[in-house]
Structure 1
Amino acid sequence: MKMAPILRAFAAHLPAIPTLLVHTGQHYDRDMNDRLFADLRLPHPDLNLEVGSATHAVQTAEVMRRFEPVLDTHKPSCVMVVGDVNSTLACALVCAKKDVPVVHVEAGLRSYDRAMPEEINRVLTDQIADRLYTTERSAHLNLMREGVAEERVHFVGNVMIDSLLSNREHAHPAAQVLLMAGVAPEVLDEPCGYGVVTLHRPSNVDRLDRLEPLLSVLREVSERIPLVFALHPRTRANIERFALLDLLTSDRIVLLPPQGYLEMLGLLTGARLVLSDSGGLQEETTALGVPCLTMRENTERPITVDQGTNTLVGRDPHAIRKGVDEILSGAGKTGRIPEFWDGRAAERIAADLSQWLLARHAQRCQEFDE
Structure 2
Amino acid sequence: MKKVFLVAGARPNLMKVAPIFRAARDLEGVECQMVYTGQHYDRQMSQVFFEDLDIPKPKFNMGKSTGTHAEQTGAIMIAFEKMCMEEKPDLVVVVGDVNSTLACSVTARKLHIPVAHVEAGLRSGDMDMPEEINRMVTDSISNLFFTTEDHGRENLLREGKDADTIFHVGNVMIDNLFHNVDRLGPEVVADYQSRELKEKIGRYGFMTMHRPSNVDNREVLEGIVEALNKIAEDLPLLFPIHPRTEKMMAHFGVSFSENVHTFPPLSFRESLFLWKDAQVVITDSGGLQEETTALGVPCVTVRKNTERPVTIEKGTNVLAGISGENILRETENALKKTGNPAPKIDGWDGHASERIWKVLLDFLS
Spell out the pairing of 1:118-197 with structure 2 (5 A cutoff). Answer: 118-171=131-184, 180=193, 184-185=197-198, 187-189=200-202, 193-197=203-207
Matching residue within 239, 247, 257 for 1:249: 257
What corresponds to 1:94 in structure 2?
107
Q: Does 1:214 align with 2:224?
A: yes
Q: Normalising to structure 1: TM-score of the pair?
A: 0.90
Matching residue within 222, 239, 249 for 1:229: 239
Structure 2 alignment gaps of length 5 or more: 1-14
Q: Does 1:6 align with 2:20?
A: yes
Structure with the bigger percentage of helix = 1
Q: 1:98 to 1:280 in 2, by over 3 A?
A: same
What corresponds to 2:61 in structure 1?
48
Residues in 2 aligned to 1:85 and 1:44: alpha-carbon distance in whole angstroms: 20
Residues in 1 aligned to 2:344 and 2:241: alpha-carbon distance in whole angstroms: 29
What amino acid does structure 2 have at the position aligned with 1:237? K
Q: 1:214 to 1:166 in 2, by over 3 A?
A: same
What amino acid does structure 2 have at the position aligned with 1:188? I
Measured after TM superposition, the shift of residue 80 of structure 1 is 0.6
Give the number of equivalent residue pairs: 350
What secondary structure is seen at the aligned counterpart in 2 of 1:21?
Answer: strand
Q: 1:40 to 1:202 in 2, by over 3 A?
A: same
Residues in 1 aligned to 2:197 and 2:131: alpha-carbon distance in whole angstroms: 38
What secondary structure is seen at the aligned counterpart in 2 of 1:258?
Answer: coil
Residues in 2 aligned to 1:171 and 1:32: alpha-carbon distance in whole angstroms: 20
The answer on whether the counterparts of 2:303 and 2:322 sit within 8 Å (CA) in structure 1 is yes
Structure 1 alignment gaps of length 5 or more: 359-370
What corresponds to 1:26 in structure 2?
39
The answer on whether the counterparts of 2:299 and 2:334 sit within 8 Å (CA) in structure 1 is no
The answer on whether the counterparts of 1:293 and 1:323 sit within 8 Å (CA) in structure 2 is yes
Moved more, 16-25 or 208-217: 16-25
Residues in 1 aligned to 2:45 and 2:281: alpha-carbon distance in whole angstroms: 22
The answer on whether the counterparts of 1:27 and 1:33 sit within 8 Å (CA) in structure 2 is no
Matching residue within 60, 67, 71 for 2:80: 67
Matching residue within 265, 271, 286 for 2:272: 265
Q: Does 1:337 align with 2:344?
A: yes
Q: 1:256 to 1:50 in 2, by over 3 A?
A: same
Q: Normalising to structure 2: TM-score of the pair?
A: 0.91
Measured after TM superposition, the shift of residue 178 of structure 1 is 9.4
What secondary structure is seen at the aligned counterpart in 1 of 2:25?
Answer: helix
Q: 1:63 to 1:37 in 2, by over 3 A?
A: same
What secondary structure is seen at the aligned counterpart in 2 of 1:275?
Answer: strand
Q: 1:312 to 1:41 in 2, by over 3 A?
A: same
RMSD after superposition: 2.0
